[in-house]
Structure 1
């Protein structure tokens, strides 16, 4: 395992989470910046990238979140399957309720297909809200993994700082196509490059905020750790099944998108095992 910079290891888990969340937000902005160079992105490529993002999130949900949750429950003397199951289901319920209560529009969908309460909000706002809503569990995942590493349960649970960094890197990789998926449709509808970029990067701003919230929660209340990790996993799996996989296959590129899922899963698995 490669050594980490000493200055980073000496930071509090909250600051580590803030920096990691800032990185994932930055990659979202990098994806959105594609709008400055082209008006259209090859749909087959974008579908493969969305599939890749889904694969990364599936792998991260197990290797970085559920597996440590199971180990932490055992270390705390709790029945191993109870916290992961409760947290996982609550994560899905949280996203379902959020979908029902917040107006939003998935990338590629028509304005008439907006979900949640009826509203007169503009399409751009609804697109940003959809991605922002689904970025919350990614930020939480980053924060709780840094919090877990700080509690020094590494020997018993496998929660390490390098593993938390691997998760942040994986989430950053899958944020690139998300930035594109918001910015490019807006550019195609006639918005300026600057405004399309602004809305695209804005969808990722919630990640450093939710990362800090996740770190604060688990460091302050240590028994929450196995529940918090599995909560983030459940929320991420909900996003994958409800949004990423359907969106990646919406245009008929099913096989390509599926290969993207396989590739994303493999990359995240390697990152987590090699670094964590």
Structure 2
């Protein structure tokens, strides 16, 4: 496939993913049953992220590299780096025993922060989300440049996990004193960073294609860390057997979606 087609895939998937995640997140936060829907999406997103990491991103990276041990080391270091970055985020946001920024989205929907802080925590959320979206764009670009099938799967997994995250961010912005329109506008602006990250990574990786495999390993590390460290702990808040069965089914559905997309588009490899 020619380079222009790859760039088109990157831009389209970044734009559609951002619009879909932000639009659905906004609808969910205005829905009376938002907590139920976000909980469902969290479980599905875990499966999609783990499936994309272990069924696609990591195998593709290993195929592109002659040094598999080096790639697994990069993935291991990536998980450690994401842990450190998240710790820094917690230290910056959490004070006086409350941590509204880091509560899982499914929990944020059930709590209301009464005291507005004149938008301070809201603006920090926007800045953090913008950086996160920029990195997502880089990961999507690297995936598409390795293989169109991998790019589609990566975009689906990232979008699935962005919906509950954006919903949580939207609620924090509202509780920070933002109007609904302003919260939506700032979320859309931060979503533009996904496209910018994708386009910049495309032109960078065209000249430095040897970096595609390491970035895919980092993508696998990122998706694994988000699923295991950020999303799975929120599922333990509902330990009853019925909820657990539902969670397992949704996680398997998320993995199954990734597998089906891989099987359907497999001939493009």
TM superposition score normalised by structure 1: 0.73
CA distance in 2, matches of 1:250, 1:176: 20
1:229 and 2:216 aligned: yes
Cα drift, residue 180 of structure 1:
2.3
CA distance in 1, matches of 2:82, 2:152: 25
Structure 1: 5+ residue stretches without partners: 1-7, 113-118, 149-159
Of 222, 227, 238 in structure 2, the residue corresponding to residue 240 of structure 1 is 227
SS of alignment partner, residue 33 of structure 2: coil
Deviations along 1:65-116, one digit per CA (max 9) or x if unpaired, are 101111111xxxx24x22321321232233233224443522446899xxxx
1:275 and 2:262 aligned: no
Deviations along 1:230-249, one digit per CA (max 9) or x if unpaired, are 11111221111221222344
Other-structure match for 1:195: 182
1:171 and 2:171 aligned: no
Aligned residues: 246
1:33 and 2:26 aligned: yes
1:206 and 2:193 aligned: yes
Other-structure match for 1:61: 53
CA contact (8 A) 1:52 1:263 kept: yes
Q: Structure 1 residues 146, 273: CA separation in 2 closer, same or farther (over 3 Å shift)?
A: same
1:51 and 2:38 aligned: no
Q: Structure 1 residues 90, 139: CA separation in 2 closer, same or farther (over 3 Å shift)?
A: farther
- Tell me which protein shows more helix as a share of its residues: 2
- Write out the 4+ residue segments of structure 1 that deviate beyond 6 Å after TM superposition: none
Q: Structure 1 residues 256, 187: CA separation in 2 closer, same or farther (over 3 Å shift)?
A: farther
Other-structure match for 1:145: 143
CA contact (8 A) 1:65 1:141 kept: no
Cα drift, residue 187 of structure 1:
4.1
SS of alignment partner, residue 191 of structure 2: coil
Across the aligned residues of Structure 1 and Structure 2, the Cα RMSD in angstroms comes to 3.3
CA distance in 2, matches of 1:71, 1:141: 17
CA distance in 2, matches of 1:254, 1:129: 34
1:22 and 2:15 aligned: yes
CA distance in 2, matches of 1:209, 1:125: 20
CA contact (8 A) 2:142 2:201 kept: yes
Q: Structure 1 residues 59, 137: CA separation in 2 closer, same or farther (over 3 Å shift)?
A: farther
Other-structure match for 1:218: 205
Q: Structure 1 residues 249, 256: CA separation in 2 closer, same or farther (over 3 Å shift)?
A: farther
Other-structure match for 2:97: none
SS of alignment partner, residue 204 of structure 1: helix
1:95 and 2:82 aligned: yes
CA contact (8 A) 1:132 1:203 kept: yes
Q: Structure 1 residues 96, 238: CA separation in 2 closer, same or farther (over 3 Å shift)?
A: same
SS of alignment partner, residue 4 of structure 2: coil
